[in-house]
Structure formats: structure tokens, C-alpha cells
Amino acid sequence: MRLGLRLLFAFFLINGIAAFFVLRVFTAEIKPSVREVMEDMMVDTANLLAELASDDLASGRLAAGAEDSDFARHVRRYAARPVDASIWGLSKQTLDFRVYVTDARGRVLFDTERRSVGDDYSQWRDVARTLRGEYGARATRDVQTDDTSGVMYVAAPIWIDGAAGGERRIGGVLTVAKPTRTVQRFIDRAERKVLQGGLLLLALSAAVGVAVTVWTVWHVRRLRDYARSVQAPGEGAGPPPLVPRVPGELGDLARAMDRMRERLAGRDYIEGYVRALTHELKSPVAAIRGAGELLQDDLPADDRRQFAAQVVEQSERLQRLVDRLLELSKLEQRQHAEAGAAPVALRACAEAALRQCAARARQRGVRLQLEGEGGSGPWEAELITLAVGNLVDNAIDFSPAGGTVRVVLDGATATVQDEGPGVPDYALPRLGERFFTTARPDGTRSGSGLGLAIVKRVMALHGGRLDVARTAQGLRATLVLGG
């Protein structure tokens, strides 16, 4: 499973479990909380009505069948009163309290619904506990199988003063009853609001989770792309990629990856150089050692001169190899060219390169020819001269005696054309690799393969490129400068 899917799954799982338990607690607490508030209000109502009924109960006007009691008339008027109230958006058009009064034995003396007058309620919990001086309340269903038919009963004692100023006693019980369905609408609305709020919170949390996951995965993918694009120094077409700017611990990871890249790249760089250098040093060292061992013997003068010349020739080859390695090593440690204050003329660089190669060209019997003026640009003159000089040196090596090496300048391009045999097609893509060489016209491989590697590095520092192609007359190498 991908990282983004794992993060989303974990987030939704945790969020869903938390939302489930929170919503469950809220919805489970709404109904009992509303009923507790209702019971609290009924306690106040029952005690208030009990005080109002105490005089009529003490005087006997609340005896069974009596309808002339002030308390009875007022309560019945309450029951018949019209009402139309809007309670936080919910309409109330009926008064729902049922009130009944019992005497000290539990017999019903008064009932707003007139259905229980004369009945014995002494065993009902609300009446029995109140007559014992305790808090009396009960909840009973009118229909046992219907949960919505429940009715809550709360009772209060009716205190009557004793005869001749004696101690007060409980002369009866007043009970207030209210159907629970009257508050069910409020419970349902509260549950709907809690559910809607919970779903909205869940949706917002999901959106936050998606945003955090996308943000995390995007930065992780930037780190992954950076790790994939990292290459060893000198092997890529330009400087190493920039370290991605990511915040927090991911930024620390990016910088740690960059330091690791530098260490690994340096190690691979050194290991590759050591292997290639060892391979290149084998031939000249072996030739020098063989010639030296032979020179220790008594040899004819001609043979001695031949072996001495071989020692000098291989020593020069070693010297060129070391010089080229040093040049390439310095170039590969640089990230960009350093342009001077004034634009650099391409022709001036080409002329300087030809002057440096003139002696070697005369020794090989090769003529050098410069054509065109070329342009100017923000280039580093020393590096451009080095690149042109390496191309000319390479062309001299492959040109036959009496041949011509032409350097043609055109704008920001410099083309070096020789009259040698060229190179095979399979070798063209590899030109510019360190220590890769092709056979000279005389069949030898005396080159180090570093000349074109230096040229490619110089072009990379200038944002340009090296193009190599076979022609009918030999090989054409073109410097295309950027900047």
C-alpha cells in the first residue's frame, strides 16, 4: 500500500473511531439530560401547587366529589387554558400537566382528568414514598409495549398545621404528571443537530486529513525525485540538482541526503578515477620498466638510443596524463564558470589555443587554419582557450602528415575539423568519457581520453554542449557556447 493511502486510512480510522464514540456519548446523554431538567422543573411545580392546595385540603373542600374548592377551580381553568407558544422554533399548543391530590391514606381526592377520583394510590411509588417523608417520583408507561407512552410523575407532600398549634403533619400528596412525549421533539431536534454537527466535523477533519496527507506525500515525493536525480560529479550534464526546500524534519532529511550524496559521490568519484588511472598507467609504466631493464645491459648504440627514446616518450605520456587529470579534477569541483567584467571574444581564445598547439602541429607536419571572427560573450577566457586547445590537439593526433586542421568560428560556436579517418559510429556516443580512446591513424592508443572529457566539462560550466559528427573528410567537433 502506498504511503498516501496508508496515511489516509490511518487518519480516517482514528477520526472515525473518535467521532463514533463522541457522537454516541452526546446522543446517549441528550435524552436523560432533558428528562432530568424536566423532573427538576416538575419538583418545583409540585411543591408550589402543594402549598396552594394545603388550605383546601385542611378545610375538607377537596373531599371526593367536591368541585367548589378554589384550588380545584384554578387547576381546571389551567387545564382548559388555550396556549400557542413558540419555543425555539417548536410550537406548543397544549398544556400537558396532569395534577392529582390524595389524602393521608393515599385515596385520590382530586384529578384534573377526573378518571382516578376515589382510587387507592397508596401503593404507587410517588404517593407511598412521599407519605413516608421521602422524595417520591416514578415513570410509568400508559402502554407497556410503547416506549413513547411514558409518563413522569413527581409528588410533593401537602403539609397541614396540627390542631391547637400542634406540629405540622403530612395531610396528603400532590402529584404532577407529564408525558415524556411532550419533550421528545426537543430531544429529537437536539440529536439531529448533534448528528449534523458531528458529520460536519467529520467532513472537515477528513478534508484536513486529505490536505495533510497530500502535503506530506508531495514533499516526500520531492525528496524521492531528488534522490533519483542525484548523480556522481562529472557524470551528469551539469551541476548536481538543488536540495529541495521542505520544512521541519523533512528538511533535515533533505540536507542529510545531500551530505550523503556528497560523501557517496566523492567516494565513487575517487574509486572510478583510481581504477581508470591504474589501467592507464599500466602501459607506460610497463614500457618504461622494460626499456630500463634492457638499458642495464650492454646494447648497441642504436638500440640504446631507441630504448632511451621510448623511456622519454612514455614519461611524456605519463606527464600529459597527470596534467590532464589535474585539469579535469579542478574543473569537476567547480559549479559554474567565472565570467570577467568585459565580454570575451571567441576569436581571441581560438588564436591563443592555436599558438599553444603550433609547435606540436609543426612537429607532426599538420597545418592549422583559423576562419571566421566569432562572437563575444560572458565566458571564462582561460577555459574556452583550454577547450579549443584540447579539440585542436585531438585533431592533430588524428590528422595525417601534410593534413590541415581547420578552426571555424561563427557567432557563439567554434568548429574544429580534421582530415583524419574519423571514428566508428559505435564510438561516437562514448566520446568524452574519461579514459575512453580510439586508435590513432598509426594504430596506437597513446591518448588518455581526458581531452574531450575536459571539453565537455567546460561546456557544462558555460551552459553549452559539445557536438561530434563524422564527415567525409574526417571528424568535426563543435563547441556550442551558452550564456
Mean pLDDT per segment of 10 residues, for the chain of length 483 residues?
68 75 70 84 93 88 70 86 79 84 92 88 94 93 77 94 74 93 80 80 80 79 72 49 70 73 61 58 70 76 76 71 65 64 84 86 88 86 85 85 89 88 74 65 57 80 84 85 71
CA distance 353 to 155: 116
Per-residue pLDDT, 383: 83
Name the DSSP letter for residue 164: G
Helix axes of 3-59 and 70-80: crossing angle, nearest 10 degrees: 140
Q: How many of the other CB atoms lie within 10 Å of CB of 364?
A: 15
Q: Are 210 and 15 in contact (CB under 8 A)?
A: no
Runs of H (alpha helix) within 296-371? 301-332, 346-364
User: In this predicted structure, what is the pLDDT of residue 236?
Assistant: 46
Q: Are 30 and 194 in contact (CB under 8 A)?
A: yes
Q: What pLDDT score was predicted for residue 105?
A: 92
The amino acid that residue 156 corresponds to is A
pLDDT of 233: 46
Sort strands 367-371 and 404-410 into parallel, antiparallel or unpaired.
parallel
Q: Which residues have CB under 8 Å from 433's CB, separation 6+? A: 449, 453
Q: E strand or H helix at 38, and its extent?
A: helix 3-59
The single-letter DSSP state of residue 320 is H
At 465, list the grid cell.
Answer: 554542449
Where do the domains of the chain lie? Answer: 3-191, 336-480
| Residue 311 cell numbers, joined | 623511456
Classified as helix, coil or strand, 15 is helix
Distance CA 333, CA 326 (A): 11
Alpha-carbon span 478 to 417, nearest angstrom: 9
Element holding 189 (H helix, E strand): helix 181-229
Determine how β-strand 376-377 pairs with β-strand 344-345: antiparallel
Asked if 477 and 466 touch (Cβ cutoff 8 Å), the reply is: yes
DSSP annotation string for 419-469: -S----GGGGGGTTSTT-----TTS-----S-HHHHHHHHHHHTT-EEEEE
Q: At residue 377, what are phi and psi to the nearest 5 degrees?
A: -165, 175
Q: What gap in Å lies between CA 122 and CA 467, rounded to an integer?
A: 113
CATH, domain 3-191, list 3.30.450.20, 3.90.1150.10, 3.40.50.300, 3.10.310.70:
3.30.450.20
Beta carbons of 381 and 350 less than 8 angstroms apart:
no
Residue 450 bridge partners (DSSP): none
Read off the C-alpha cell for 291. 626499456
The DSSP-derived string for 228-276 is HH---TTTSSSSPPPPP---HHHHHHHHHHHHHHHHHHHHHHHHHHHHH
Classify burial at 21, counting beta carbons within 10 Å of its beta carbon; exposed 0-12, middle 13-18, buried 19 or more.
exposed
pTM value? 0.45
Q: What is the pLDDT of residue 235?
A: 46
Sign, Cα dihedral of 385, 391, 397, 401 = negative
For 200-221, give the secondary structure using H, E and C: HHHHHHHHHHHHHHHHHHHHHH
Tell me the C-alpha distance between 243 and 247, whole Å.
Answer: 12
Torsion angles phi and psi, residue 439, rounded to 5: -70, 140
| SS3 label, residue 88 | coil
CB-CB contact of 288 with 307 (8 Å): no
CA trace torsion 68, 69, 71, 75 (10° rounding): -30
Give the alpha-carbon dihedral of 288, 289, 292, 296, to 10 degrees: -170
Say how far apart CA 110 and CA 129 lie, in whole Å.
19
CATH superfamily of the 336-480 domain = Histidine kinase-like ATPase, C-terminal domain (3.30.565.10)
Domains 3-191 and 336-480 are alike in CATH topology: no
Separation CA 219–CA 214 (nearest Å) = 9
